[in-house]
Structure 1
Amino acid sequence: MSESREQRWSLKGMTALVTGGTRGIGHAIVEELTAFGAIVHTCSRNETELNERIQEWKSKGLKVSGSACDLKIRAERQKLMETVCSEFDGKLNILVSSSAKVPFELLISEKLKIQPENSVPR
């Protein structure tokens, strides 16, 4: 039995965090992940822009939430992860680092147990 393309690429039930999701590639990734069924949380330093994007996505029926966060500040990164953990009941399937000037390593912690082979080489 052949599965359809939609079934093969379905992200239904998956959760994703996309940093820098209000502009450029991050914005496109948020829209694509939700189009495939994922529930997405994104963040931006610019709270006004973030709220505008969230309203835009909600008007399209996309499942996106967001947080204002400066990823260069450790306390804000920790708060972001606490928010995501709470919102997704501790389940994060996809992490996309699309924010400018913030190394991927700052986004992960020992607790996440992410192995280097699971990340895309830069």
Structure 2
Amino acid sequence: MGRVAVVTGGASGIGLAIVRRLATGGASVALLDLDEAAADRAAAELRGEGLRVVGLGADVSDRAAVEKALEAARAELGPVEIMVTSAGLSLNAPFLDISVEDWERVVAVNLTGTFHCLQLAVPDMIAGGWGRIVTISSSSAQSGSRTQAHYSAAKGGVVVLTKTLALELGQYGITVNTIPPRAVVTPMFLAAPFAQGAAGEENIKALAARSPVRRLGVPEDIAATTAFLCSDDAGYITGQVIGVNGGNYT
């Protein structure tokens, strides 16, 4: 691939799988994560495998922190050509119990954080005449999710932001697509109330049994599609919601 990529939320789960897949394909990757120590550890492990990866700490809801991280990425690797926004925050509460503080934090990370990352990276892509953006949204953006009104609303905003940027940026050789994962086994998924305890184990088994492919997703499923969307071969795909979900719609 030979491109310079930035992946947010890259120290674990889907983000880490995407970092590994892009780097294995030849990209130089800046791995951004709120947990700077985890970002450093993950990047060091990947460098030990011969991959070109740097770890950087940044809270994507903090504009100045994102700007600083991207400047460090440019200094180390070069202008940003690929941006994957995988950083996310999911909280659970019935709608009437959601505090204003939790609403604002979830929206700040999931939606405003995506805005910060993309607005700060896109000028590099315009200058280079080529770019790939993949946002990681959520199936809840399309279906809703009980006890996750704030998360679903924020991820719905990510979907519409993606479609809007595809319309604006296509003229510059930049494609913009979103993947809304569903039932992917990640730390966030396993931390949800649905997955807790003995009942959680049964819930997970039942969910897998209902899947047309008879399994739940793994981060590598999302990473494989992300890598394709970031390639030259995907230059005619933009503004799309790519359902990597094993046929799970309900």
TM-score range, shorter chain: 0.7 to 0.9
Residue 59 of structure 2 corresponds to 70
Mapped pair 1:102 → 2:110 = yes
Aligned to 1:45: 34
1:119 equivalent to 2:168? Answer: no
- Structure 1, residues 62-92: CA drift from partner, whole Å, max 9, x if none? 1100211111111101111211222233x22
1:60 corresponds, among 36, 46, 49, to 49
Say if 1:59 and 1:88 are closer, same or farther in 2 by CA, change over 3 A: closer
Q: Any runs of at least 4 consecutive aligned residues in structure 1 with deviations exceeding 3 A, and if so which?
A: none
Aligned 8 A contact 2:83 2:118 in 1: no
Aligned residue pair count: 110
**Is 2:22 the partner of 1:33?**
yes
Deviations 1:31-69 (A, max 9, x none): 100111101001111122112112211111111002111
Aligned partner of residue 42 in structure 1, secondary structure: strand
Could you list the runs of 5+ residues in structure 2 that have no partner in the other structure?
Answer: 89-108, 132-163, 167-174, 179-240, 242-250
Unpaired segments of 5 or more residues in structure 1? 1-10
Asked whether the 8 Å contact 2:40–2:54 carries over to 1, the reply is no
- Per the normalisation by structure 2, the TM-score is 0.41
Write out per-residue CA displacement over residues 4-29 of structure 1, whole angstroms, 9 at most, x where no aligned residue.
xxxxxxx0x21100011111111000
Q: TM-score, normalised by structure 1?
A: 0.79
Report 1 or 2 for greater relative contact order, CA contacts < 8 Å, sequence distance ≥ 6: 1
Which stretch has the larger CA shift, 30-39 or 77-86? Answer: 77-86
> Which is richer in helix?
2
Superposed CA RMSD: 2.0
